[in-house]
A and B are shown apart, each in its own frame.
Chain A
Amino acid sequence: MSSELPATLSSTPAAESRPSANSVEWQKLLTHFEWNEGFTFVILLLPDAEGAALRRQALERFLASSGKQIQLITFASPDELKHLAGRLLELSVPPATSAIWVEAVVPEFAADYQVWREAWREAVARLNQFRNPLRERFNVPLLFVGAPWLQSVLHDAAPDLWSVRTTVVPIEPEASPWRDYLASWPERADASSKAWDENAPDAELALQAAASLRGKPGDEIKLAEMLTRAGAGLIARSVNLEAEKVLLEALALLGRHKADSPEQAEAFHQLGRAQIALSDYEPANRNLEQALRLYRKAGNIWGEANCIEKFGDIALRRSHHDEAQSRYAEALPLYRRVGNIVGEANCILSLGDIALRRSQHDEAQSRYAEALPLFRRVGNVLGEANCIACLGDIALQRSQHDEARARYAEALPLYRRVGDVLGEANCIWGLGNVALERNDFTETQSKFEQCLKLYRQVGHLHNEAECLTGFGDLAAKQAKTEEARAYYEQALATFEQLQALDWIGKTHQRLARLSKGDLAAQAHVAAARAAYEQAGLTKLLNELDEEFALK
Chain B
Amino acid sequence: MAQLAEERQLLKGIYQRLKDEPLEPGSELYQPVYEMPGSDDPVKRLKKGIEFSEVESVQMFSGFRGSGKTTELKRLKKQLEDEDYFVIYGDALKYLNPAEPVEITDLLIVLAGAFSDALTEARSDIHIEKESYWVRLRNYLTDTNIEISEVNLKTEADSIAKELIGGIKAGVDVKLALHTSPSFRQNLQKFMANRISELKGQVDKFVEDGVKAIRRSYGEQKQIVFIFDSLEQLRGSLANEKAVIDSVMRLFANYSNLLELPYVHCVYTVPPWLKFAMPGATNTVMLPSLRQWNNDDARSLYLTGWDALRNLLKRRVGVANCDHVFGLPDAQGHHAAADRLIGLCGGHFRDLLLLVRECVLRAENLPMDERYINAAIINARSQLLPLSIESVRWLHRIEQTRTPALPDDSPESVSRMTRFIDTHLVLYLTNGEEWYDVHPLIRNEIGTMIARHGLTDESVEQ
Chain A positions near chain B (C-beta within 8 angstroms): 9-10, 14, 24, 27-28, 31-32, 34-38, 40, 121, 125-126, 128-129, 132, 151-152, 155-157, 159-160, 162-168, 170, 217-218, 220
| Residue of A whose beta carbon sits closest to that of B98 | A129
Instruction: Give Cα A162–Cα B384 distance, bound, in whole angstroms.
Output: 11
Of B50-58, B112-120, B294-302, B353-361, the one touching chain A: B353-361
| Residue of B whose beta carbon sits closest to that of A125 | B237
**Contact: B449 with A217, CB < 8 Å?**
yes
**Contact: B12 with A34, CB < 8 Å?**
yes
- Within 8 Å CB of A159, what residues of B? 65, 419, 422-423
**Contact: A160 with B233, CB < 8 Å?**
yes
Instruction: Give Cα A24–Cα B364 distance, bound, in whole angstroms.
Output: 10
Chain B positions near chain A (C-beta within 8 angstroms): 1-3, 8, 11-12, 15-16, 19-20, 65-66, 91, 93, 97-99, 233, 237-238, 350, 354, 357-358, 361-362, 364, 375, 379, 382-383, 385-387, 419, 422-423, 445, 448-449, 452-453
- Within 8 Å CB of B97, what residues of A? 129
Instruction: Give Cα A24–Cα B371 distance, bound, in whole angstroms.
Output: 11
**Contact: B16 with A24, CB < 8 Å?**
no
Instruction: Give Cα A194–Cα B386 distance, bound, in whole angstroms.
Output: 38
**Contact: B364 with A14, CB < 8 Å?**
no
Taking A14-B2, A217-B385 as contacts, is the C-beta distance between A28 and B16 under 8 angstroms?
no
**Contact: A170 with B238, CB < 8 Å?**
no
| Majority secondary structure, A binding face | helix
| Residue of A whose beta carbon sits closest to that of B382 | A170
**Contact: A35 with B15, CB < 8 Å?**
yes
Taking A35-B16, A218-B448 as contacts, is the C-beta distance between A10 and B2 under 8 angstroms?
yes
- Within 8 Å CB of B382, what residues of A? 168, 170
Instruction: Give Cα A218–Cα B453 distance, bound, in whole angstroms.
Output: 8
**Contact: B445 with A164, CB < 8 Å?**
no
Taking A166-B357, A167-B358, A170-B379 as contacts, is the C-beta distance between A218 and B449 under 8 angstroms?
yes
| Residue of B whose beta carbon sits closest to that of A220 | B386
26 contacting pairs across A/B (C-beta < 8 A): A9-B3, A9-B364, A10-B2, A10-B8, A14-B2, A24-B362, A31-B361, A35-B12, A37-B16, A125-B99, A152-B386, A155-B383, A157-B237, A157-B238, A160-B233, A163-B66, A164-B20, A165-B354, A165-B383, A166-B354, A167-B357, A167-B379, A168-B382, A168-B383, A218-B448, A218-B449
**Contact: A163 with B350, CB < 8 Å?**
yes
Question: Out of B93, B362, B449, which one reaches A129, CB within 8 Å?
Answer: B93
- Within 8 Å CB of A157, what residues of B? 237-238
Instruction: Give Cα A14–Cα B445 distance, bound, in whole angstroms.
Output: 37
| Residue of A whose beta carbon sits closest to that of B16 | A37
Q: A9-B364, A35-B15, A217-B387 are in contact. List 19 more A-B contacts (CB 8 A).
A: A9-B2, A34-B12, A40-B19, A121-B238, A125-B237, A125-B238, A126-B237, A156-B238, A157-B238, A159-B419, A159-B422, A160-B65, A163-B422, A165-B383, A168-B383, A217-B385, A218-B449, A218-B452, A220-B386
**In the complex, what's the smallest C-beta–C-beta distance from A152 to chain B, in angstroms?**
7
Question: Out of A27, A121, A156, A167, which one reaches B354, CB within 8 Å?
Answer: A167
- Within 8 Å CB of B238, what residues of A? 121, 125, 156-157
Q: What are the nearest 9 A-B pairs in CB distance?
A: A217-B386, A28-B361, A35-B12, A163-B65, A125-B237, A35-B15, A218-B449, A129-B98, A217-B385
Which of B11, B382, B383 lies at the interface centre, i.e. has the most chain A CB atoms within 10 A of its CB? B383
**In the complex, what's the smallest C-beta–C-beta distance from B347 to chain A, in angstroms?**
15
- Within 8 Å CB of A24, what residues of B? 362, 375
- Within 8 Å CB of A151, what residues of B? 383
Instruction: Give Cα A6–Cα B12 distance, bound, in whole angstroms.
Output: 19
- Within 8 Å CB of B1, what residues of A? 14
- Within 8 Å CB of B19, what residues of A? 38, 40, 166
Instruction: Give Cα A432–Cα B15 distance, bound, in whole angstroms.
Output: 71
Which of B97, B350, B362, B386 lies at the interface centre, i.e. has the most chain A CB atoms within 10 A of its CB? B386
**In the complex, what's the smallest C-beta–C-beta distance from A425 to chain B, in angstroms?**
44
Question: Out of A14, A129, A168, which one reaches B99, CB within 8 Å?
Answer: A129
- Within 8 Å CB of B385, what residues of A? 217
- Within 8 Å CB of B357, what residues of A? 166-167
Instruction: Give Cα A133–Cα B171 distance, bound, in whole angstroms.
Output: 26
- Within 8 Å CB of A27, what residues of B? 362
| Residue of B whose beta carbon sits closest to that of A13 | B2
Taking A9-B3, A125-B238, A218-B449 as contacts, is the C-beta distance between A28 and B20 under 8 angstroms?
no
Instruction: Give Cα A59–Cα B146 distance, bound, in whole angstroms.
Output: 63
Instruction: Give Cα A35–Cα B387 distance, bound, in whole angstroms.
Output: 33
| Residue of A whose beta carbon sits closest to that of B99 | A129
Instruction: Give Cα A132–Cα B69 distance, bound, in whole angstroms.
Output: 14
**In the complex, what's the smallest C-beta–C-beta distance from B64 to chain A, in angstroms?**
9
- Within 8 Å CB of A220, what residues of B? 386
- Within 8 Å CB of A167, what residues of B? 354, 357-358, 361, 379
**In the complex, what's the smallest C-beta–C-beta distance from B373 to chain A, in angstroms?**
13
Instruction: Give Cα A163–Cα B351 distance, bound, in whole angstroms.
Output: 9
Which of A36, A129, A170 lies at the interface centre, i.e. has the most chain B CB atoms within 10 A of its CB? A129
- Within 8 Å CB of B65, what residues of A? 159-160, 163
Instruction: Give Cα A356–Cα B254 distance, bound, in whole angstroms.
Output: 82
| Residue of A whose beta carbon sits closest to that of B234 | A129
**Contact: A32 with B423, CB < 8 Å?**
no
**In the complex, what's the smallest C-beta–C-beta distance from B430 to chain A, in angstroms?**
21
- Within 8 Å CB of B362, what residues of A? 24, 27-28
| Residue of A whose beta carbon sits closest to that of B385 | A217
- Within 8 Å CB of A35, what residues of B? 11-12, 15-16
| Residue of B whose beta carbon sits closest to that of A43 | B383
- Within 8 Å CB of B350, what residues of A? 163
Instruction: Give Cα A152–Cα B388 distance, bound, in whole angstroms.
Output: 12
Instruction: Give Cα A170–Cα B378 distance, bound, in whole angstroms.
Output: 11
Which of B361, B387, B422 lies at the interface centre, i.e. has the most chain A CB atoms within 10 A of its CB? B361
**In the complex, what's the smallest C-beta–C-beta distance from B385 to chain A, in angstroms?**
5
- Within 8 Å CB of B2, what residues of A? 9-10, 14
Instruction: Give Cα A220–Cα B388 distance, bound, in whole angstroms.
Output: 11
| Residue of B whose beta carbon sits closest to that of A30 | B361
Instruction: Give Cα A420–Cα B448 distance, bound, in whole angstroms.
Output: 44
Instruction: Give Cα A151–Cα B452 distance, bound, in whole angstroms.
Output: 25
- Within 8 Å CB of B448, what residues of A? 218
**In the complex, what's the smallest C-beta–C-beta distance from A397 to chain B, in angstroms?**
58
Instruction: Give Cα A162–Cα B383 distance, bound, in whole angstroms.
Output: 10
- Within 8 Å CB of B15, what residues of A? 32, 35-36
| Residue of B whose beta carbon sits closest to that of A132 | B93
**In the complex, what's the smallest C-beta–C-beta distance from A1 to chain B, in angstroms?**
21
- Within 8 Å CB of B383, what residues of A? 151, 155, 165, 168
- Within 8 Å CB of A162, what residues of B? 423
- Within 8 Å CB of B16, what residues of A? 35-37
**Contact: B379 with A10, CB < 8 Å?**
no
**In the complex, what's the smallest C-beta–C-beta distance from A66 to chain B, in angstroms?**
15
- Within 8 Å CB of B452, what residues of A? 218
- Within 8 Å CB of A32, what residues of B? 15, 361
Instruction: Give Cα A160–Cα B272 distance, bound, in whole angstroms.
Output: 14
Instruction: Give Cα A32–Cα B422 distance, bound, in whole angstroms.
Output: 26
Instruction: Give Cα A295–Cα B423 distance, bound, in whole angstroms.
Output: 40
- Within 8 Å CB of B20, what residues of A? 164, 166
Which of A34, A35, A37 lies at the interface centre, i.e. has the most chain B CB atoms within 10 A of its CB? A35
Instruction: Give Cα A152–Cα B1 distance, bound, in whole angstroms.
Output: 37
Instruction: Give Cα A156–Cα B357 distance, bound, in whole angstroms.
Output: 23
Instruction: Give Cα A40–Cα B1 distance, bound, in whole angstroms.
Output: 30
Instruction: Give Cα A291–Cα B2 distance, bound, in whole angstroms.
Output: 57
Instruction: Give Cα A166–Cα B19 distance, bound, in whole angstroms.
Output: 8
| Residue of B whose beta carbon sits closest to that of A169 | B379
- Within 8 Å CB of B11, what residues of A? 35
**In the complex, what's the smallest C-beta–C-beta distance from B138 to chain A, in angstroms?**
26
**In the complex, what's the smallest C-beta–C-beta distance from A58 to chain B, in angstroms?**
17
**In the complex, what's the smallest C-beta–C-beta distance from B5 to chain A, in angstroms?**
8
Question: Out of B364, B387, B419, which one reaches A156, CB within 8 Å?
Answer: B419
Instruction: Give Cα A125–Cα B1 distance, bound, in whole angstroms.
Output: 45
| Residue of A whose beta carbon sits closest to that of B448 | A218
**In the complex, what's the smallest C-beta–C-beta distance from A42 to chain B, in angstroms?**
11
**In the complex, what's the smallest C-beta–C-beta distance from B117 to chain A, in angstroms?**
16
